Amino acid sequence: MTSTLRKHLGMALGIATLLAAGMAPAAVRPAGPSRAEQLREDTEAIHALGVSGVQALVIAPDGRHSVATSGTADLDTGRPVLPDGYFRMASTAKTLVATVVLQLVAEGALSLDDTVEHWLPGVVRGNGNDGRSLTIRHLLQHTSGLHDDLPGYSTPQEYDEQRHDVHSSEELVARAMAHAPDFSPGEGWQYSNTGYVLLGTVVQKVTGRSAHAEIEDRILGPLGLDRTRWMGASPSLPRPHSRAYQLFGPGSVVDVTDQIPVGHEHFSWVTTTRDENDFFRALLGGRLLPPRQMAEMKHTVPVSPEFQLFWPGGRYGLGLIERPLSCGGTYWGHEGGDGGYITLNGVTGDGRRSAVVSMSEARGDTSEHVLEQENAAGSLIDHALCPGAPEPREPRRTRAEGLRRIG
């Protein structure tokens, strides 16, 4: 569930000389690769870093798409990566939760200025934590100051010992309450998974139903996202999927597919690149929230200096990240990383162009590898969303046809 962070790889376009009949030669910039070709280059660049498997999907404003894969879905068998494989959504599910919360705000069921104490009396208390001073907006925007203390593994042995551990939301919040807050509410920014555990519980308190049930009925069903699924405490994924790997150090790549995600009660989601694209396109396209709540979601604050390393120029709204494009302007999304799967995504502000890349290996042994992977995936998103490259020439395809095509 924690948002694991990765890298940027620059790809330069050359200068070509074009000779016109009867005219002096003039140096001009070539058209460059098509978006489909660029996407293939970018997925291969991520794989070249040592990431075992990569799949990516870009959807253009007219519905045309580019799909690319690289590497292997299984290091033991060498089977290829499929373009429609499931992966764990991890922290990208925070945008699902935030969307439901804002829908409830639009319906008048709660307010962004409601305190946590109002909905969850006595839950946030102790060691300087006080639910009376925390609002729903603070939780959504990571300005609550709540300290994160989620269980996790850092060695292959710890993975073996902990992979089937089940942690309730109450336990995760209690772990946070054992620490003093990092800062007073509204006086800083720090990524807090605990805040979103609380938000899932608030949704349940407001509606009388689990957060995942509300997400299914309010978002997935209306949009037809039948390949986004809540897995609960299941340690496995539906088929097809790439095996997930974690690099713990030189020569220590471990298959970590089999595990129960931390925060499984609210955040144990799997999806595909197509479903994730469609969700963000619908959200930014105004199909899930009224204009007022969409504006609230896009009201951002700067992320902390630590996160500026991974999201240069990044700003955080209500469950949504805004990042600059190299060609000018910005895009929106929310990456996720857990259990070997790392996913970056992006959509333009009008919801018309989008991109998702899923990697099935987390190179988390050093900060250099983490940043390298983050930047390479970020480069793919940037290339996909910046204008300039020609669109692929293939005609618009149906959803099923598009998913079968490999870049």
109: domain CATH number? 3.40.710.10
Domain assignment of residue 302, yes or no: yes
Domain assignment of residue 251, yes or no: yes
Domain assignment of residue 62, yes or no: yes
- 8 Å CB contact between 142 and 321: no
Q: Is 175 helix (H, G, I), strand (E, B) or coil?
A: helix
Domain assignment of residue 9, yes or no: no
- Tally of structural domains, the chain: 1
Domain assignment of residue 21, yes or no: no
**pLDDT at 267 (0 to 100):** 83
Tell the burial category of 34 from Cβ atoms under 10 Å away from its Cβ (0-12, 13-18, 19+). Answer: middle
Please give the residue range of the domain that contains residue 247: 33-404
Domain assignment of residue 278, yes or no: yes
**pLDDT at 20 (0 to 100):** 29
Query: β-strands 321-324, 354-359: how paired?
Result: unpaired
Domain assignment of residue 141, yes or no: yes
C-alpha dihedral over 226, 231, 236, 242, to 10 degrees? Answer: 40
pLDDT digits (tens, 9 = 90+) for 194-216: 999 999 999 999 999 999 999 99
Distance of CA 20 to the CA centre of its chain: 47
Name every residue whose Cβ is closer than 8 Å to that of residue 358 and which is 6 or more positions away in sequence. Answer: 54, 55, 56, 85, 87, 273, 341, 342, 343
Q: Scanning the structure block, which residue is given the tokens 């992979």?
A: 163
Long-range CB contacts (< 8 A, 24+ apart) of 15-20?
none
Domain assignment of residue 397, yes or no: yes
- Read off the DSSP letter of residue 325: -
Low-confidence ranges of the chain (pLDDT < 70): 1-32, 388-407
**pLDDT at 388 (0 to 100):** 65
pLDDT digits (tens, 9 = 90+) for 299-355: 999 999 989 988 999 999 999 999 999 999 999 999 999 889 999 999 999 999 999
Name every residue whose Cβ is closer than 8 Å to that of residue 363 and which is 6 or more positions away in sequence. Answer: 6, 49, 50, 51, 247, 369, 370, 372, 373
Question: Omega before 324 cis (within 30°)?
Answer: no
**pLDDT at 339 (0 to 100):** 85
